[in-house]
Amino acid sequence: MNDRKIINDPVFGFINIPKGLIYDVITHPIFQRLSRIKQLGLSSAVYPGAQHTRFQHSLGAFSLMSEAIQHLKAKGNFIFDSEVEAVQIAILLHDIGHGPFSHVLENTLIKDFTHEEISLMLMERINRDLKGQITLAIQIFKDEYPKKFLHQLVSGQLDMDRLDYLRRDSFFTGVSEGNIGSARIIKMLDVKDDHLVVESKGIYSIENFLTSRRLMYWQVYLHKTSVTLEKMLVNALMRAKELANQGKELFASPALRYFLYNDICKEDFYTKSEPIDNFILLDDNDLWTSLKVWSANEDIILSTLSKGIINRNLFKVEVSSTPIPKEKKADIISNICKALSISKKDARYFLASSSLENNMYKKEDDSIEILYKDGTTKDISQASDMLNISLLSRKIKKYYTCYYRFENVKY
């Protein structure tokens, strides 16, 4: 009798899914929803191959977790079978709270409630459906379990989430800089004093990992075209929300309509069932369908933004090391007002400015310790002869100014 399912993954090959609790988690409708949410949101506008989903990513992270646990046990680290299953489930569910296009809803239709908090709420719901069988997984996810290194495998500097998304996103975007040696890093992992450490002979793989991560952030995750598309989508949703508040009738799926026509905050998720019930019905398709219909809306702001996203008529993007001068911002607003015959208040939907920053390594978050043969450890910032602490922790900050392009308007 076959006691497992096999999934053929383009990045890691065959992934074995054992029958039983893990299979029940993967086939749960809340987890299956991740197959309708793209891992990289709108990045396919830059990298057409980036069509992979959070479902694929979660399975990949599960595969790496299985591999990591196997290597840690082989090195004499005792891990109960129940802990193995729990940490595998914790990594499977780490992204369960993501909405359509990642963080877009957090900035618009849902106030002050992060996807991490929603993930935990959805885990609790799955746990009820499975009669409490994933309680241990939730404890590990929340870092409430005595073996702290298990939580580090789920959420830490060298967690299986990062090891998968760098490899996977590199594969599907074609950006080779993210192709880290995940297999070697996993083989070099060990545990000392309940903390994940890396054997000293794996230091070069860690240096490559940290460098690749920084490069992927600026080349893929914070690519200026992806940033401007997200700004446009956020502004389209904000305009739709404003029209809904005015009582205007807008096309939307029932789940999206709920968030458009109701002001939902963090407290509502804990005191009512409707917010989470509707959230789990949302995926990328709800927003794409609405944007297509909104492209013909009589409101020129909503229709222009929606058509821009659908047809890739994007905001112009300027990236600099300093914020946009107030005078230039005023000129852009003035030109937009003339081009569309709209007020300055409405013109704000066609201008967005923000700053984004990224550093390679932050010891305070969760240090990477290098283990030497004599049993001593050093933080990577002291152990590396290539990446010193000033380079590792240095923040790079960029200022983005995105504004709509109009014909015959000079900026």
Phi, psi of 346 (to 5 degrees): -75, -25
Residue 289 has pLDDT above 60, yes or no: yes
pLDDT of 389 > 50? The answer is: yes
**pLDDT above 70 (res 158):** yes
Q: Please spell the DSSP secondary structure of 285-311, one letter per residue.
A: HHHHHHHHHHTT-S-HHHHHHHHHHHT
Q: Are 333 and 349 in contact (CB under 8 A)?
A: no
Encode pLDDT of 84-97 as tens digits.
Answer: 999 999 999 999 99
> Residue 407: pLDDT above 70?
no
Buried b (16+ CB within 10 A) or exposed e, 132-153: ebbebbbbbbeeebebbbbbbb
pLDDT at 285: 97
Q: How confident is the model at residue 381 (pLDDT cuts 50, 70, 90)?
A: confident
pLDDT digits (tens, 9 = 90+) for 46-77: 999 999 999 999 999 999 999 999 999 999 99
What value does the mean pLDDT take over residues 18-40? Answer: 96
Res. 1: pLDDT tops 70: no
Which of 107-116, 293-302, 311-320 has the weakest average pLDDT?
A: 107-116
Rg (CA), the chain: 23
**Percent with pLDDT over 70 in the chain:** 95
- Whether residue 390 has pLDDT greater than 80: no
- Give mean pLDDT, residues 115-141: 96
Strands (E), 150-225: 189-192, 195-199
Topology at the third CATH level for domain 4-221+359-395: Hypothetical protein af1432 (1.10.3210)
Average pLDDT over residues 313-336: 91
Q: Where are the domains of the chain?
A: 4-221+359-395
Under the banding of pLDDT at 50, 70 and 90, the label for residue 388 is low
Residue 226 has pLDDT above 70, yes or no: yes
Write out the two tokens for 170. Answer: 């590199």
Average pLDDT on 229-247 reads 95
